[in-house]
């Protein structure tokens, strides 16, 4: 059986077309060797039509010609080596070591596409992760096994927030349980990647971090495989070794743009804003790889970061992400301009899993009522602010004036927090009650009488 | 007929093409490649045919064979459906998990309900009896709350020539043999098959005359869904579509719930699997799982099976309807189904219409929603299928094709509002943009079963809420203080309607489900307050005296303080309203 071919029919962008191919499998990996010595290029079969195969080349097609290239079919999908040795290592978007530490050898290899988890085998996540960040712990509680993205904009401090979460989060709360961080960078700038690496170093976790890096000037085809490699590594560490894994994926917007670029070059029918119609399914195939499984110890918690083009939350990337992930942390330029870090806009933010992971037995019994009340009060603050802009603060009723005061203090004292400030959950909850004491009791309609008696206005 | 075999000639994601396919039929189910992946023929051109494959095609090769099954994509229908979770083409996920724990394996093959399980069957016919299509010949207690009626499949009739005695049998056991008019013998088993894309026949459709009571105040009182009707719940992400669907699945007064998780989160299905068995159906006092069947095609499962999952769900619903049950099907979300259509259509290089969706999108939506209805079944029973579809419009923009086309074919439209959701007002159903086209047809039912004035109370409440919106426009410009007192009263009452009536706490044990009688009394109490307060305003009493914090607060909290099973507390509240305003009147007399 022939599995090596010496002629290319067509080369276009990242694609090469071969003919008279037999026995090729859909999605298998091919190796391309050009005569100029540039070796080890890989590609993936994306279309088979009779004896023709379309191969998408990782890296670039520069230097390939229709006669100088030999193509070998491997018969296997893209796999990466898996062992505990990967901890502390850095790889490129197709899982090749780039830290000079040599290749990782392991008998165990994982298909980067993974397999969907059977919904029956999933374990519903319920364990609260304390991040030490008040706005998140109180109002957008992170749960172990959750996928909670940060919706940010260019120039907003999403990287700082992610690093603060990594540093402060108590991902493995039980004694003796192990944790690790998997970091996937897709199309980020060199200095951004450096910031993360430096921060990991400073907080002394570098030997527990696995990195898959595809920088802004690296080949875009590899941008598609970067998060898949990272998640395959995460699944291995979580479900084979029982570790609690925090996965940071940044920047999902660059990932989606790479997907669009490739889709356009394949002349696919575009849907919204030129993104391919399968963007939702494609994103789901990444995000759904978070979670916990019955009978296995580990967990995968995902914090994808995306920058909303023009701060527009209805843009397809944040929009489709929000439909798949279990909530979102939205950063706001307005709040940041008022010199508040982290600039979390709590109203459009949400943690869907919070309802089952807070309250009695998890955080504290007053947490659900308190969070609900603060959301409702703060949403009224926004309305009162609009009104105050029109009629002036002096003409506001007494109650409305108190709303304004609550809003000010809430942002200045609860949302605002130092980059190195770590507040525990009791501190945060008490602060919440303290702020609510600004409001008259009649306005607190979300708090049950029993809870109010116990915690209200001390 | 010789076994038909085609040969794979093109592979493009979930769409493949085969040649040597002349003998294949349109919409026929086929098995593809050495892993025997399940697929369906979706177009035929000469000896070539295009197939959508319900599993990942990774590793498939040109030249592998395509095997015909000779029948369209069908479901096996029989005991063992209720309480289970299936994938988009009725393969049992718990059985798959036992075979291969954790991840879904490749090439699962064609498995369905457990045919080897034995059930206690009682037979209801005797030899010599004539049976027609749909007639019940036996029954099986499928779960504590569902009696599974074994029916003669549509299109079959004859005289009973033999019957087995009552006893334990598996699904393949022949229970009854019929001799039809041509003298042919037809064996009847517990199990029958039905193609998913064909609606099951009924005797006739009946007019809609009663609501699906959901225990959710804003639905039952303001925007009712009819039994046999259709409803759509559109909303951007985070507005509580799934939450609302879960509430409906939990508390609707249907006999059977079919819940289709179509392209949604895996954890949401897990949540249902964990929550439902522990929840008690207020009507049967048994576990909710005993009347529920789940279809799961989560967002990371193969996209072609997503397209089929909706049909699988509706076919199961029709099957139980034919037994004489009222079935409600929740499809979350129909947008993901439409997107699956779009993805397949794109790979077929069809000419796209709006936003890349195929031009036949409205037709498909209509075909789906029209399978709802209140009917007389073939065996003369009354049954219904109610469809409640969630819609996920991109960017929360309701002008997009799926929302707009769905709107044309549904009777009730429950628009979820991002602003309400941000204020944590749930269910975040916007009372201005939502509507229910069933109210007129259901008015008589409400008058008979709730109270004679419920329709008027509803109209009054909606009028006040409408008024409020207009007033709020003014308030935004000049503040509330400058409004005349009668208008400020409207704002106060509207606030009570919003926070004390429409907002409902799904996590509160008393508030998550509210019986109709309490819903009515709550509305009546607010209306009573309004009429007394309004009279006081007309007398010139200032609003600051009329709006008593303590009284209003008590009414605001009546949803929590008055238990569902003891409504006597309403008398107390109404007396207090009277006392308060009587005293106020006396002061200003």
Q: Name the residue ranges covered by the structural domains of chain B.
A: 2-72, 117-190, 204-437, 454-587
**Which B positions 532-571 lie with beta carbon below 8 A of chain A?**
549, 552-553, 556-557, 560
Instruction: For B204-437, give the CATH class.
Output: alpha beta
Domain end, chosen from A319, A354, A389, is at A354
Residue A286, in any domain of the structure: yes
Tokens 């369906």 belong to which residue? Answer: B40
- Judge whether A28 is closer than 8 Å to chain B, CB to CB: yes
Residue of B nearest to A352 (CA): B238
Q: What is the 3-state secondary structure (H, E, C) of B107-150?
A: CCCCCCCCCCCCEEEEECCCCCCEECCCCEEEEEEEECCEEEEE
Residue A155, chain B, CB below 8 Å: the answer is no
Same domain for A228 and A278: yes
In 3D space, the residue among B225, B311, B317 whose CA is nearest the CA of residue B262 turns out to be B311
Contact check, Cβ <8 Å, A291/B104: no
- Report how far residue B281's alpha carbon sits from residue B294's, in angstroms, rounded to the nearest whole number: 17
Judged by CB atoms within 8 Å, which residues 41-70 of A form the interface with B?
47-51
Of 3.40.50.300, 2.102.10.10, 2.40.50.100, 3.40.50.720, which CATH number belongs to B117-190? 2.40.50.100
Fold observed for domain B2-72: Elongation Factor Tu (Ef-tu); domain 3 (2.40.30)
CB proximity list for A191: less than 8 A, separation 6 or greater: none
Its sign, for the CA torsion A351, A353, A355, A359, is: negative
Coil, helix or strand at residue B285: coil
Statement to judge: residues A214 and A281 lie in one domain: yes
Size of interface A-B (CB pairs under 8 A): 221
Q: Which residues of A334-360 are buried (b: 16+ CB within 10 A; e: fewer)?
A: ebbeeebbbbbbbbbbbbbbbbbbbbe
> CB–CB of B93 and A379 under 8 A?
no
Q: Which ranges of chain B have pLDDT less than 70? A: 1-3
Question: Domain check: are A69 and A155 in the same one?
Answer: no
The answer to whether A265 and A15 are in contact (CB under 8 A) is yes
Residue A362 lies in a domain: no
Domain of A20, CATH number, reads 2.40.30.20
Provide CATH code, domain B454-587. Answer: 1.10.1140.10
Contacts of residue B17, defined as CB under 8 A and 6 or more positions apart, other chains included, come to A49, B8, B9, B10, B48, B49, B50, B51
**B397, A442: Cβ pair inside 8 Å?**
no
- Torsion angle of the four alpha carbons B313, B319, B325, B326, in this order, in degrees rounded to the nearest 10: 30
Residues of chain B in contact with residue A391, where contact means CB-CB under 8 angstroms, are 477-479
Q: Are A234 and A209 in contact (CB under 8 A)?
A: no
Same domain, A317 and A403: no
- Number of structural domains found in chain A: 3
Nearest by CB: A375 against B93, B424, B549: B424
Q: How far is B369 from chain A (nearest CA, A)?
A: 24
Q: How many residues does chain A have?
A: 458
Answer yes or no: do A345 and A378 share one domain. Answer: no
Q: Is the pTM of this model over 0.90?
A: yes
Full strand arrangement of the beta sheet holding B176-179: B130-131, B158-163, B176-179, B185-188
User: Quick check: A24 contacting B, CB < 8 Å?
Assistant: yes
Looking at the fold, whether A264 and A400 belong to one and the same domain comes out as no
Closest Cα in chain A, distance from residue B45 (Å): 16
Sheet hosting strand A209-215, strand order edge to edge: A90-91, A209-215, A179-188, A244-250, A299-307, A150-152, A327-330, A350-351
pLDDT value at residue B248: 95
Domain boundary among A50, A77, A104: A77
Nearest CA distance, A51 vs chain B (angstrom): 8
Candidates A433, A39, A17, A42; CA nearest to A229 is A42
* φ and ψ at residue B33, rounded to 5 degrees: 75, 180
Question: For A117, which of B94, B102, B106 is closest by C-beta distance?
Answer: B102
CA distance A74 to chain B (A): 11
**Which positions of chain A have pLDDT values less than 70?**
1-2, 36-39, 172-177, 457-458
CB contact (8 A) between residue A288 and residue B300: yes
Q: What is the CATH number of the domain that holds A167?
A: 3.40.50.12240
Q: Rounded distance, CA B53 to CA B479, Å?
A: 61
Range of the domain at A94: 80-354
Whether the Cβ atoms of residue A370 and residue A429 lie closer than 8 Å to each other? yes
- CB contact A205 to B (< 8 Å): no
Same domain, A18 and A164: no
Instruction: Check residue A1 and give its pLDDT.
Output: 43
- Inside any domain, residue A384: yes
Q: What does residue B85 show for φ and ψ, rounded to 5 degrees?
A: -125, 130
Continuous segment of H or E residues that includes residue A416: none
Residues in contact with A320: Cβ distance below 8 Å, sequence separation at least 6, in sequence order: A279, A280, A283, B394
Nearest chain B CA: its distance from A120 CA (Å): 6
Would an 8 Å CB–CB cutoff place B103 in contact with chain A? Answer: yes
Q: Tell me, what's the ipTM? A: 0.89
Are the beta carbons of A447 and A439 closer than 8 angstroms? no
Burial degree of A280 (CB within 10 A; 0-12, 13-18, 19+): buried
Contact B65, A76 (CB under 8 A): no
Interface check for A293 against chain B (CB to CB < 8 A): the answer is yes
Last residue of a domain, one of A62, A77, A92: A77
Backbone angles phi, psi at A323, to 5 degrees: -75, -20
Q: pLDDT tens for residues A351-392? A: 999 988 899 888 999 999 999 999 999 999 998 998 888 888
DSSP code string of B411-476? SEE--B-HHHHHTT-SS-B-TTT-EETTHHHHHHHHHHHT-TTHHHHHHHHHHHHHHHHHHHHHHH
3-class SS at A389? helix
Interface of A with B in 90-109 (CB under 8 A): none
A16: β partners: A11, A55
Q: Are residues A139 and A11 in the same domain?
A: no
Q: Based on the domain organization, do A173 and A136 belong to the same domain?
A: yes
B300 to chain A, any CB pair closer than 8 A? The answer is yes
Taking CA atoms, what residue in B is nearest to A447?
B557
The reported pLDDT for the residue numbered A175 is 55
Domains B117-190 and B454-587 share a fold: no
Tell me which residue in B13, B422, B557 faces A348 most closely, judged by beta carbons: B422
* CA distance linking residue B474 with residue B420, whole number of Å: 20
Counted residue by residue, chain B has a size of 589
Asked if the C-beta of B98 comes within 8 angstroms of chain A's C-beta atoms, the answer is: no
| CB < 8 Å from A in window 460-499 of B | 475-481, 499
Cα–Cα dist A444/A376, whole Å: 9
In a shared domain, residues A172 and A190: yes
Is B59–A281 a contact, with Cβ atoms under 8 angstroms apart? no
Question: How remote is the C-alpha of A198 from its chain's centroid?
Answer: 20
State residue B288's pLDDT score. Answer: 93
**Statement to judge: residues A197 and A154 lie in one domain:** yes
Cis peptide before B442 (omega within 30 of 0): no
B382-391 and B326-332: which strand pairing? parallel
Please report the pLDDT score of residue A37 as a whole number.
Answer: 60
Contact A326 B481 (CB under 8 A): no
Q: Is the CB of A379 less than 8 angstroms away from the CB of B422?
A: yes
In a domain, A142, yes or no: yes
B440/A contact by beta carbon, under 8 A: no
Cα-trace Rg, chain B: 28
d(CA B6, CA B21): 5
Q: Are B407 and B369 in contact (CB under 8 A)?
A: no
Q: Which residues pair with A185 in a beta bridge?
A: A213, A250
Contacting residues of A for B238, CB less than 8 Å apart: 322, 327-328, 348, 350, 352
CB B505 within 8 A of CB B247: no
**Are residues A149 and A234 located together in one domain of the fold?**
yes
A328 at B interface, C-beta within 8 A: yes
């Amino acid at each position: 059986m022939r599995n090596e071919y010496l002629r290319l029919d067509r080369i276009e962008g990242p694609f090469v077309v071969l003919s008279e191919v037999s026995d090729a499998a859909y999605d298998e990996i091919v190796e391309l060797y050009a005569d100029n010595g540039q070796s080890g290029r890989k590609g993936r079969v994306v279309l088979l039509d009779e004896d023709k195969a379309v191969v998408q080349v990782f890296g670039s097609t520069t230097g390939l010609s229709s006669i100088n290239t030999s193509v070998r079919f491997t018969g296997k999908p893209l796999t990466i080596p898996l062992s505990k040795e990967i901890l502390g290592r850095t790889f490129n978007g197709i899982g090749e070591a780039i830290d000079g530490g040599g290749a990782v050898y392991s008998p165990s290899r994982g298909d980067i596409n993974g397999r969907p988890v059977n919904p029956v085998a999933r374990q519903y996540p319920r364990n609260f992760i304390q991040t030490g960040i008040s706005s998140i712990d109180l109002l957008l509680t992170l749960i172990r096994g959750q996928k909670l993205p940060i919706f940010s904009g260019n120039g907003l401090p999403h990287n700082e927030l992610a690093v603060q979460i990594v540093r402060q989060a108590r991902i493995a709360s039980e004694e003796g349980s192990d944790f690790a961080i998997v970091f996937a960078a897709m199309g980020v700038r060199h200095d951004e990647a450096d910031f993360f690496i430096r921060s990991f170093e400073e907080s002394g976790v570098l030997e527990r971090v696995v990195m898959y890096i595809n920088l802004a000037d690296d080949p875009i085809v590899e941008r598609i495989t970067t998060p898949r490699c990272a998640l395959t590594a995460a699944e291995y560490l979580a479900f084979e070794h029982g570790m609690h894994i925090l996965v940071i994926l940044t920047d999902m917007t660059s990932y989606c743009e790479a997907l669009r670029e490739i889709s356009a070059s394949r002349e696919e029918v575009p849907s919204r804003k030129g993104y391919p119609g399968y963007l939702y399914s494609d994103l789901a195939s990444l995000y759904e790889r978070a979670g916990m499984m019955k009978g296995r110890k580990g967990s995968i918690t995902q914090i994808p970061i995306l920058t909303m083009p023009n701060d527009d939350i209805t843009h397809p990337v944040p929009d489709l992400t929000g439909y798949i992930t279990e909530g979102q942390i939205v950063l706001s330029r307005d709040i940041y301009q008022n010199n508040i870090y982290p600039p979390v806009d709590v109203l459009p933010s949400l943690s869907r899993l919070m309802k089952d992971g807070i309250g009695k037995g998890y955080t504290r019994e007053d947490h659900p009522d308190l969070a609900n009340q603060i959301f409702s009060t703060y949403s009224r603050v926004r309305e009162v602010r609009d009104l105050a802009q029109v009629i002036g603060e002096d003409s506001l009723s007494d109650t409305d004036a108190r709303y304004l005061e609550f809003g000010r203090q809430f942002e200045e004292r609860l949302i605002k927090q130092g980059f190195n400030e770590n507040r525990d959950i009791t501190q945060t909850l008490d602060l919440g009650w303290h702020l609510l004491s600004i409001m008259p009791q009649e306005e607190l309609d979300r708090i049950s009488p029993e809870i109010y008696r116990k915690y209200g206005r001390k | 007929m010789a076994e038909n075999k085609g040969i794979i000639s093109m592979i493009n994601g979930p769409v493949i093409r085969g040649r040597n396919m002349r003998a294949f039929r349109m919409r026929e189910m086929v098995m593809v490649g050495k892993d025997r992946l399940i697929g369906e023929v979706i177009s035929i051109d000469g000896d070539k045919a295009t197939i959508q494959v319900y599993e990942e095609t990774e590793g498939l090769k040109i030249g592998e064979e395509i095997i015909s099954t000779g029948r369209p994509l069908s479901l096996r229908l029989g005991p063992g459906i209720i309480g289970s979770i299936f994938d988009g083409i009725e393969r049992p996920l718990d059985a798959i998990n036992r075979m291969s724990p954790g991840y879904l394996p490749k090439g699962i093959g064609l498995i369905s309900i457990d045919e080897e399980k034995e059930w206690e069957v009682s037979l209801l016919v005797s030899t010599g009896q004539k049976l027609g299509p749909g007639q019940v010949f036996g029954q099986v207690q499928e779960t504590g709350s569902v009696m599974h009626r074994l029916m003669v499949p549509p299109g079959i009739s004859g005289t009973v020539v033999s019957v087995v005695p009552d006893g334990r049998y598996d699904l393949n056991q022949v229970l009854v043999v019929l001799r039809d008019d041509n003298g042919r013998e037809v064996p009847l088993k517990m199990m029958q098959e039905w193609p998913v894309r064909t609606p099951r026949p009924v005797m006739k459709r009946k007019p809609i005359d009663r609501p699906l009571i959901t225990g959710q105040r804003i639905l039952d009182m303001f925007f009712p869904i009819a039994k046999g009707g259709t409803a759509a719940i559109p909303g951007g992400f985070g507005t509580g579509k799934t939450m609302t669907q879960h509430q409906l699945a939990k508390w609707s007064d249907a006999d059977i719930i079919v819940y289709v998780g179509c392209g949604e989160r895996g954890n949401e299905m897990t949540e249902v699997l964990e929550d439902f068995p522990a929840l008690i159906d207020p009507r049967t006092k048994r576990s909710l799982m005993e009347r529920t069947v789940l279809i799961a095609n989560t967002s990371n499962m193969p996209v072609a099976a997503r397209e089929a999952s909706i049909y699988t769900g509706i076919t199961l619903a029709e099957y139980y309807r034919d037994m004489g049950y009222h079935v409600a099907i929740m499809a979350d979300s129909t947008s993901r189904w439409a997107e699956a259509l779009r993805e397949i259509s794109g790979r077929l290089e069809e000419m796209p219409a709006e936003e890349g969706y195929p031009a036949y999108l409205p037709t498909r939506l209509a075909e789906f929603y029209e399978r709802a209805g209140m009917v007389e079944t073939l065996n003369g029973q009354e049954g219904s299928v109610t469809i409640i579809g969630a819609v996920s419009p991109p960017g929360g923009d309701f002008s997009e094709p799926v929302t707009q086309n769905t709107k044309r074919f549904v009777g009730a439209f429950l628009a979820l509002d991002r602003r309400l959701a941000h204020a944590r007002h749930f269910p975040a159903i916007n009372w201005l943009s939502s509507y229910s086209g069933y109210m007129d047809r259901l008015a008589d039912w409400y008058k008979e079963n709730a109270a004679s004035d419920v329709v008027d109370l509803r109209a009054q409440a909606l009028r006040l809420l409408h008024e409020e919106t207009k007033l709020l426009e003014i308030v935004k410009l000049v503040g509330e203080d400058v409004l005349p007192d009668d208008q400020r009263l409207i704002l106060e009452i509207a606030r009570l309607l919003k926070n004390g009536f429409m907002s409902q706490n799904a996590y509160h044990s008393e508030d998550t489900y509210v019986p109709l009688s309490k819903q009515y009394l709550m509305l009546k109490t607010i209306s009573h307050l309004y009429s007394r307060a309004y009279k006081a305003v007309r007398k010139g009493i200032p609003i600051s005296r009329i709006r008593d914090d303590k009284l209003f607060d008590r009414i605001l909290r009546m949803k929590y303080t008055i238990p569902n099973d003891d409504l006597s507390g309403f008398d107390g509240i109404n007396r207090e309203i009277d006392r308060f305003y009587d005293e106020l009147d006396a002061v200003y007399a």
